[in-house]
Amino acid sequence: MASILRRTTFIVADAQRSAAFYESVFGWTRFYDHSLTAKAGFPPVGPRDEPVKLVLLKAQDPQIGMVGFLQYLDAPFDTGRVVERTKVRMGESILVVQTEDVRGVHERAVAAGATISMPPTDWSVPSHDGSSTIHLRSMSMFDLDGIYSEINQHL
């Protein structure tokens, strides 16, 4: 059975603000930007359908590699977020992005208000099959919503 992972969607306090951050830092473009009703149970937040705002951004590929930002307009849960995060938590996602310009991403992320965990750093990891070494320039950050990202550039 073939399956394609198309995107990851994050629940955020302000979908427009979140999308604007990634547009300015990575140059991603809007694929979808609508208000709609989330059917109860998708995702499971409460016993009824909920009005939401959903913004999807696309990177280079027109069908995969997208990220979504879902805002509950009348959230049935606590919408507080941790600010100035410095550590990840159990069960948390890591958004991994490949770029050709980690230093440029770093500059734009700082200007956009991200919390930088690790500035651009060169390091190496084994390839998927262990037969070679991949040389990387990487940085990591928490965005305005506290979403953790690792950004890599192959050297």
Closest listed residue to residue 21, CA positions, set 103, 83, 81, 105: 105
Closest listed residue to residue 23, CA positions, set 1, 55, 54: 55
Average pLDDT over residues 101-126: 97
CB of 63 within 8 A of CB of 6? Answer: yes
Kindly report, residue by residue over 68-86, the tens digit of the pLDDT.
999 999 988 888 877 778 8
pLDDT-derived band at 6 (thresholds 50, 70, 90) equals: confident
Look up residue 1 and give its amino acid: M
* Distance (Å, whole) CA 80 – CA 73: 14
* pTM for the full predicted model: 0.91
Quick one: pLDDT at residue 80? 82
Look up residue 108 and give its amino acid: R
**So where are the chain's domains?**
7-72, 95-154
* Distance (Å, whole) CA 66 – CA 58: 5
Quick one: pLDDT at residue 120? 98
7-72 and 95-154 have identical folds: yes
For residue 149, is pLDDT > 90?
Answer: yes
Kindly report, residue by residue over 21-33, the tens digit of the pLDDT.
999 999 999 999 9
pLDDT-derived band at 46 (thresholds 50, 70, 90) equals: confident
* Distance (Å, whole) CA 44 – CA 55: 19
Point out which residues pair with 140 in neighbouring strands.
Answer: 118, 150
> If you average pLDDT over every residue of the chain, what do you get?
93
For residue 20, is pLDDT > 80?
Answer: yes
Architecture of the domain spanning 95-154: 2-Layer Sandwich (3.30)
Q: Which tokens hold the place of 83?
A: 């600010």
Q: Which tokens hold the place of 58?
A: 């696309």
Cβ atoms within 10 Å, residue 54: 17
CATH fold, domain 7-72, is 3.30.720
